[in-house]
Structure 1
Amino acid sequence: MTMSFSPQVLLSKVARERCIANIKELPKFALNDEGSKKTYASVLVPLCVVKEEVCLLYTLRSSNLKNHSGQVSFPGGKIDEGETEIDAVLRETHEEIGFNARDVEIWEKMPIIQGRNKEMIIHPIVGVLNNMNVDNLVRSVDEVEDIFTVPMKELCNIENHGHLKLQREKIILPVYTFGKYTIWGITGMITHLFLQCFLPESLYTNDFMRKKYTIGELMPSKI
C-alpha cells in the first residue's frame, strides 16, 4: 500500500478540510417539485479503517425487503417525524449494523439526491466509524443480508469500473464491482460524488465507459 492511501494521509485534518470544502461545491441532484409529496431519507457514507486501509462500508439489503431487495446500499433509512437527517442516520446505522452512534464522527452533509421514483429525497451524510471492528458489527437480520467494506484502492481501480445507461433519462450511472458485490444506482452515484470530493485527482481516476451493463445484469440474484 502506498503512503498516499494510508489512513494517516486520507483521514488527516487537512484531508478532512479539503473533502468538506469540495462537498460544499457540489450541486443539488433533486428537482424542485413543490407540488408532489416527498419521502425523506438519509444515508451514512461511512469511512472506516480495516487492516490499515481506508474503506467505505456497505450493506447488502435483505432479499426479503419490499424495496431494493438484494441490492447494495449505505446504512440509512427514512427520517422520522421530529428527527434531523443526522439523528436518523445515526439511529438507522445502529439498527442496521449495530454500530454505536457516539463512535460516528460526522464530517459533512452532501447535497440531496432524488431517487428514481422522484418521490424520495435522500440526504447523504459523510462520517467516520471510529474504532470499528468488523467482527463486532451486528446486522439486522430483517433488513441486512451482509456487511462488507471496500478499500479505497479497489474503488479507484479502473478494472472495477463500468456504467449503466438509462435510455429514457439519458443518464449514465457509475458501476463499481468488488468480488461478488456490485455497487450501482443511487449508491454508486453517491460513491462517485464522494470519491471526487475525498480523494485527490491523482488517486481517483475512473473509466466507467470501459464496460457497459444492462439493468438485467445488475438486478440482484441470490449471492
Structure 2
Amino acid sequence: MFTSLSNPLCMKAALGLSPAALLSHSSREKCIANISRLPTVNLRGDRMKYCASAFIPVCVENGEVCLLYTMRTHNFNRFSCQVTFPGGNLEKDENVFASLIRELEDNLGVQPKDLKVWTKMGQVQLRKTNVVVTPVVGEILNFDINNLVINEDEVDEVFTIPMQVFCDRNNHGSLRHNGVLVPVYSGGKHKVWGITATITHRFLYTFLPKELYNIGFFRKQYTINELVEL
C-alpha cells in the first residue's frame, strides 16, 4: 500500500487516486472512451445463452474511491460463498439497466436516485455455461455502507476495496484453472478471483492512471483450494 505521504511518489499516487481526480467529469469521460475501445471477447458456441447483468459499483468510502463487492449466500447456487458484483439474470423483456436497478434495490436497498450509470462493457461468458454477463459501470452516490438494506436470502456480506489496494502489486496474483490464467486480487477483506476478477481488471485498466496501475499477476500463483471460501 501507499503508506507515507512524505514520499513524493506516494503523494502523487494519493492525488491521482483521490475522488476529485478519479470521479471528475473528464476522468469519467476518459474511462467511458477507454471502455469503448476494449477488444471484444469472443463468446463460445452457438447454443441458447441466458443473459445476466453485473454492476461494477464505484463508490467513495472513508474518503477513498472503492469498488463494492458482495459475498453470495449458501443458497445462491453457482456463486454461493463467492465474491461477485451485484447483479442477476434478466427477466423477460428486461434490458441490463432495468435489471441492475431492480437487483440493486432488491438486494442492497440502493435507490435509483442514488445511481449514476456510466456505460456498459462488452459481454463475457461464464466458463462451461451458456450464461452471458453484461457488466455495467456506474457510481453509487451518497454511499454509506451502513445504510444498505441487505437481502439476506441472497447476499451474505457486502464489502469495499479501495483503489490503492488494487494498485499495490503485492496484492496481485493469478490462478491457472483448466489451462486458463485468471487474475487474483488480495489485500481486501476477501480475495477477488474468477470472472469477477477478470471484469475487475478490464475495468481498472480503463479507469486508473497507467502509471499507478501496473499489473503483477505473475508474482504469485494460487491454487483453487486457497481461494474457495467454505
- Distance in 1, matches of 2:128 and 2:42, equals 11
1:5 maps to 2:14: no
Q: Which runs of 4+ in 1 moved over 4 A?
A: none
C-alpha distance in structure 2 between counterparts of 1:41 and 1:184, whole Å: 19
TM-score (norm 2): 0.91
Paired residues of 1:30 and 1:121 also in contact (CA < 8 A): no
Correspondent of 2:215 among 206, 211, 219: 206
Q: SS of the counterpart of 1:121? A: strand
Between Structure 1 and Structure 2, how many residues are aligned?
Answer: 218
Instruction: Indicate whether 1:61 and 2:76 are aligned.
Output: no
Asked whether the equivalents of residues 44 and 125 of structure 2 are also in contact (C-alpha less than 8 Å), the reply is no
- Cα distance, 1:155–1:84 mapped onto 2, change above 3 Å: same
Shift of 1:19: 0.3
Equivalent residue for 1:160, pick from 171, 181, 184: 171
Aligned CA RMSD, in angstroms, stands at 1.2
Query: Could you tell me whether the CA contact under 8 Å between 1:163 and 1:211 is conserved in 2?
Result: yes
Structure 1 vs Structure 2: percent identity of aligned residues?
A: 43
Note if 1:196 corresponds to 2:205: yes
Q: After TM superposition, give the deviation of residue 95 of structure 1 in Å.
A: 1.3
* Partner residue, 1:82: 93
Inter-partner Cα distance in structure 2 for 1:49 and 1:206: 23
Gaps of 5+ in 2: 1-10
- Is 1:114 the counterpart of 2:103? The answer is no
- Residue 124 (1) aligns with residue 152 (2): no
**Whole-Å separation in 2 of the counterparts to 1:139 and 1:3:** 33
Instruction: Report Cα offsets for 1:43-87 as digits up to 9, x if no partner.
Output: 100000011100000001112322221000000000111111110
Equivalent residue of 1:209, what SS? coil
TM-score in terms of structure 1 length: 0.94
User: What SS class does the counterpart of residue 158 from structure 2 fall into?
Assistant: strand
Q: Give the drift of 1:131.
A: 0.7
Q: Match for 2:27 among 15, 32, 40? A: 15
